[in-house]
Amino acid sequence: MNQSAASPTLSSTNPAWRVAVPALLLTVVMILVLFRETALDMATTWRRSETYAHGMIVPPITLWLIWRVRASIAVLTPRGSFLAVLLLAGAGSSWLLGELAAVNALSQFALTAMLIFAVPAVLGWTVARRIAFPLFFLLFAVPFGDFTQPKLMEWTAKATVFGLRLTGIPVFHEGQNLVIPSGSWSVVEACSGVRYLIASVTVGTLFAYLTYSSLKRRLLFVGVSIIVPIVANWLRAYMIVMLGHLSDNKLAAGVDHLIYGWVFFGVVILAMFWIGARWREDELPVVPASMPKSGVTVGGAPAAASVPVAAVVTVLVAALWPLAQRQIDQHTAQPVTQISPLGPITGWHETREGLYDWRPRFENYAASTQVVLEHDGRPAGLFVAYYRNQDKQHKLVTSTNVLVTSDDRVWSRVDGGTREISLNQQPLKIRTTRLRGPAGTQMVVWQWYWVNGRWTSSDLLAKAHTALSRLTGQGDDSAVIILYAWQTEPGEAEAILTAFADAAGEVIETALRQTANTR
C-alpha cells in the first residue's frame, strides 16, 4: 500500500478539519435540500433508464477516490474561498436558466457544478486541487448523451451497409432502414450504441486516472474509450445482420439481438482495458507536506473561523436561485385550451381529402390544431402545437417530440436537412425531413418554432428565447409549426410548401400572437 492510502495519524492531521468536515457536509446537504427536485430528477433517471444506471455508483466512487488520498489532504489547512463562491453563484444562475427553459441537463449539470464549487468555497483551492479528479468525476452522474442518438444511428446504418456490400450482399438503404435478400432491418435507438459509448467513457476515464499518472496517457486512453465503442457498435450491428442473414433469421432476433450486443461489447471493452494496462504507470508515493505549526491560514485568519463563515455564505448564495425561480413562477399565465382560429389564406381553402392519416408525434402540448388546405388541387398540411407554462413534462423542445418514432410501423424517416425560406418577408432557416409512408409514398415536412414572436428552427435558440422571455416577464408561450405535402415527383412538395408558406406565414403568426395575448 502506498503512502497516499495510508491513514493519517492524529499528530499529522490539521485540527482545523474538526470544523471543516462538518461544515462541508452541512453545506452539501443544504444545497441538495435547496435543489432537491433537480437531484431527485437525476436519481429517477438513474433508476428508470438502463443507459444512465451508472449514475448511482458515481457519487460512491467519488467518495472512495477522495478516501484514497485522505492522508495528503489531512495535513492541509482548509480555508474558505470567496472566489469559489462567485463561481458557485455562476453555476446557480445557469441552474435558473435551465429551469426557466426546461432544460433538464443544464439544471443538473449546474447543480453538480455547485456541489463541486462548494468544496473550494468551504475548504479552499489547495484542498480542491488535490481532489480535482474525484470532484469532476461527479459530472458523469448527470444523465446526458441522448442528443447523440440520431447521429450515431446514422453512422451505424452507413457502416452496416458498407460492411454488407463489402461482403457481397446487395442492400437497399433508405435512412435507417435496410433491405437485404433475407429480410428487412431497421437501426433504432437501441442500435445507436449510445449506452456503450457512455459506459465506455465513464469507466475508461476512471481507468485512465487510476492506471496512468501522465496527462498525455490519460487523455489518449479517454480518446480511445470514445472511439472504440463507436466502431465496436458498427461491427456489432453488422454481425447481427449477418447472423440473421446466414441463419435465415433464426438467430440475432428479439432478445438475442441485445444479448449478443452486450456480450460483444463486454469482450471489446475488456480487451481495451487489457491492452491499456500494458502501459500502466505506477502511482508515485505522495509524501504529506508538513502541517503549518501556527494552524492559521494564509493572511493570518484562523482556519476554524474562516471555514464556517464561508459555509454560511455558500449556502446563502445557493439559496438565492430557488427563491428567484419561485418569484418568477408566481407570474404564470392562465392555461390555454385552444389556438386562435386561422384567418383566411389567400388562394387556399380547407379540404378533408388526403394527408389526414399522418400526425407529428409531439406530446403534452396545451393546445393544437391540424388542417389540410389545397390550391389548384394540390394539398398541403399544417400542424401547430402550442405550449404555455412549460415544465419538465410539458415542453416544446425535448427528445421525445419528433415527427415519427422509430417503432412506427407506417411512417419512417428517410433523410433530413435545412433550407432557407422567406417568411413574412424575413429569411428563416427551417428543418426539412423526408418521410416514407404507406405503399412507398413519400412526404416532405418543414418544421420551425415560434417563441413569443421570434422564429427559429434551432433547439438551442428556442430554449434561449424561452428563458429570456420568462426572465423579462413575458411568459413562455411557444409553438411548433409543421408544414407537409406529398412528394410524387422531385421538387413538387417543395414548390407546394413554398407557395403555402408564402400565403400562410402572416396568418399563422397572427393566430399565434392572438393566442399569446389571452394570457
**SS3 sequence, 275-327?**
HHHCCCCCCCCCCCCCCCCCCECCCCCEHHHHHHHHHHHHHHHHHHHHHHHHH
Same domain, residue pair 480 and 361: yes
Same domain, residue pair 119 and 166: no
N residues, the chain = 519
Residue 371 β-bridge partners = 382
Same domain, residue pair 152 and 135: no
Count CA atoms closer than 13 A to 113's CA, side-chain side: 18
**Count: domains in the chain:** 3
Q: What is the DSSP string of 449-507?
A: EEETTEEE--HHHHHHHHHHHHHTTS---EEEEEEEEE-SSTTHHHHHHHHHHHHHHHH
Q: What is the pLDDT of residue 86?
A: 96
Asked if residue 223 belongs to a domain, the reply is yes
Pairwise CA distance, residues 373 & 418, whole Å: 24
Same domain, residue pair 24 and 134: yes
Asked if residue 295 belongs to a domain, the reply is no
Same domain, residue pair 124 and 244: no
Which residues span the domain enclosing 408?
349-516
Of the residues 277, 292, 319, which one is the last residue of a structural domain? 277
User: What number of H helices and E strands is found in the chain?
Assistant: 15, 11
Q: Which residues of the chain have pLDDT under 50?
A: 1-6, 10-11, 255, 289-301
Same domain, residue pair 167 and 253: yes
Chain position carrying cell 440520431:
150
Q: What is the pLDDT of residue 282?
A: 66
**Cα–chain-centroid distance for residue 189?**
15
For residue 500, give Cα distances in angstroms to 318, 345, 377, 422: 50, 9, 13, 11
pTM of the model: 0.84
Pairwise CA distance, residues 345 & 380, whole Å: 12
Pairwise CA distance, residues 441 & 493, whole Å: 12
Q: What is the pLDDT of residue 173?
A: 82
Asked if residue 195 belongs to a domain, the reply is yes
Asked if residue 496 belongs to a domain, the reply is yes
User: How many C-beta neighbours within 10 Å does residue 429 have?
Assistant: 13
User: How many C-beta neighbours within 10 Å does residue 494 have?
Assistant: 16
Q: Which amino acid is at 347?
A: G
Same domain, residue pair 134 and 158: no
Nearest Cα residue to 235 out of 167, 144, 174:
167
Q: What is the pLDDT of residue 174?
A: 80
Pairwise CA distance, residues 174 & 188, whole Å: 13
Asked if residue 222 belongs to a domain, the reply is yes
Asked if residue 293 belongs to a domain, the reply is no
Same domain, residue pair 323 and 376: no
Same domain, residue pair 71 and 169: no
Pairwise CA distance, residues 403 & 214, whole Å: 47
Asked if residue 287 belongs to a domain, the reply is no
Q: Tell me the Cα Rg of the chain.
A: 28
Asked if residue 363 belongs to a domain, the reply is yes
- Answer for the pair 432, 418: CB distance below 8 angstroms, yes or no: yes
The backbone torsions φ and ψ at residue 357, rounded to the nearest 5 degrees and listed phi first, read -80, -10
User: How many C-beta neighbours within 10 Å does residue 82 have?
Assistant: 14
Q: What is the pLDDT of residue 437?
A: 87
Same domain, residue pair 259 and 314: no
- pLDDT tens, position by position, 184-216: 888 877 778 888 899 899 999 999 999 998 889
**Cα–chain-centroid distance for residue 8?**
41
Q: Which amino acid is at 444?
A: V
Same domain, residue pair 508 and 387: yes
Q: Which residues are CB-neighbours of 241 under 8 A, at least 6 positions away?
A: 160, 164, 178, 180, 185, 252
Same domain, residue pair 392 and 477: yes
